[in-house]
Amino acid sequence: MRHPSWTSESLNSPLSLPEGEAHVWKLPLDAHSDNALNLLSPAEQERHAGFRHSLAARHYLNTRCLTRRILAAYLQEPPGKLDIRRARGGKPYLRDHPLEFNLSHSRGLGLLAVSAGRPLGVDLEQLRPVKYLAGIAARIFDDQAMEKLQNQNEKDRQQLFFTHWTAMEARQKAVGLGIFAEQVPAGESECRHFIPHEGFIAAIAAPPGSALPALKFLEPR
């Protein structure tokens, strides 16, 4: 599985996104962010204030702030002025802009996939023990995937579970559907896995009938 090389990119200069290319950003969510709250919309600020735990509030703030700063660098607009909305099914989008993006985060790490008008879905998970793994898998995965899981030892079963899970989530998110909606067939959607950080696994997918663009891996500085 691919361990990509991450290119550090400044968010203080305009960013370009060539046609046929998608950028995958690695977001550090544990960092302290000074004066970031003023970049959020009133609704985002209200939600941030509702978190009871400081770490969850920090992760939310960093996710929203970095997303706004990255998208603004492509669009050359102020981060706080971006009108970010959610479609039915929860997929975020920009009003009045063709830039497509999708988010995922897990345990202090986030990923933001961005493309020029081409829908994408991205999912990220930390590898960890899962309670009731067999029961969860039986509700979500097909018979072929279940058979593969059952034939693995405990460590390999965990890795395989999250490989299937991230692919399934990425395919669903690419078309704006939740995990309990009708599933996008695996054979109809291109999906790629990669290791964004030790102990994590991620997948990025295109909608059925679409090919994934060339991927470039970036991190903000």
Q: Is residue 217 part of a domain?
A: no
The residues facing 205 across adjacent strands are 121, 191
What pTM does this model have? 0.94
pLDDT of residue 142: 84
Decide: 95 and 86 in contact? Cβ < 8 Å.
Answer: no
Task: Report which secondary-structure segment, H or E, holds 150.
Answer: helix 143-150
Q: Domain of residue 56: give its range.
A: 7-211
What total number of domains does the chain contain?
1
Residue 169 counted as domain residue: yes
Give the residue among 186, 95, 94 at the shortest CA–CA distance from 141: 186
What are the tens digits of pLDDT across the range 97-122?
989 999 999 999 999 999 998 999 99
Q: Taking the mean position of all CA atoms in its chain, how far away is CA 1? A: 18
pLDDT in tens, 83-100: 999 998 889 999 989 899
